[in-house]
Amino acid sequence: MAGHSQFKNIMHRKGAQDKKRAKVFTRLIRELQVAVKSGTDPDSNPRLRAAMLAARAANMPKDNIDRVLKKAEGGGDDANFDEIRYEGYGPGGVALIVDTVTDNRNRTASEVRSAFTKYGGNLGESNSVAFMFDRVGQLIYPAGAASADDMFEAALEAGADDVESAEESHEITCAPEDFNAVREALDTRFGAPEEAGLTWKPQNTIALDEDKAATLLKLLDVLDDNDDVQSVSANFEISDEVMAKLTA
């Protein structure tokens, strides 16, 4: 279960992106609005429970969360959001999965397609790249939260499937249905994680040269800035040497 994380570049970049996002609450609210359709009781609705935990971890005011729940309970939430997943290839043959929540399918499809086209990518059909990823629950803790052995033991006891401990962080993965239980157990022992949620984890990664990496990062930035985009998963890896050149 232990090993070095091959996704540190992705996680590092994601953390940097999250810090500069001014629209993170919009994404969290939309996830709450979609999750609450399956029931307003978080104890019997794992997705809603996860959405509420994510909102609290982002320091969303409790009133914002309660407002979504009350609208759903009273039937007063007229927001009609659909979940749509886009799959395709970006620069260098990198596979991408773009999960969106939108109230306008045509707008979202047009904007996502435009972003892919502008940066040398191509959208594919449903399931055209999903087979290269595993759907997992994922938690990221800073390396200082625990030793590799302690994190390994705690995650194993909590029901996790894998732990990858590296110099900067611990990455814990589990089956989606075990995510809430694993998160609560680790939260009790180590506090809140830096990142937590369901994600598409690539089975293998593609190493990119400087040019391809620069173009791909531009594509990811455009997708990240789109209000309808909830998350983007990709199977790329950028070496420390290339990353240093890009950030110089």
Count of domains observed in the chain: 2
Whether 174 and 136 have beta carbons less than 8 Å apart is answered as: yes
Q: What is the DSSP letter of 231?
A: E
pLDDT at 5 over 60: no
Please tell me the distance from the alpha carbon of residue 238 to that of residue 246, in angstroms, as a whole number: 10
Evaluate whether residue 19 is within a structural domain: no
What is the rounded CA–CA span in Å between residue 100 and residue 226? 9
Q: Which domain covers residue 228, as residue numbers? A: 1-14+81-248
Cα 167 to Cα 5, 17, 95: the distances in Å are 9, 21, 27
Q: Are 234 and 10 in contact (CB under 8 A)?
A: yes
Whether residues 93 and 126 fall in one domain: yes
Res. 248 pLDDT band, cuts 50 70 90 = confident
Which residue would you say has higher pLDDT here, 12 or 143? Answer: 143
Question: Sign of the C-alpha dihedral, residues 7, 161, 166, 12?
Answer: positive
**What are 178-209's pLDDT values in tens digits?**
998 999 999 999 998 988 888 999 999 999 99
Question: Beta partners for 101?
Answer: 83
Mean of pLDDT over the chain: 86
Q: Is the pLDDT of residue 242 over 50?
A: yes
Q: 219 pLDDT exceeds 50? A: yes
Note the pTM of the prediction, 2 decimals.
Answer: 0.82
CA angle 209, 98, 30 (to 5 degrees): 140
CATH code where residue 145 lies = 3.30.70.980
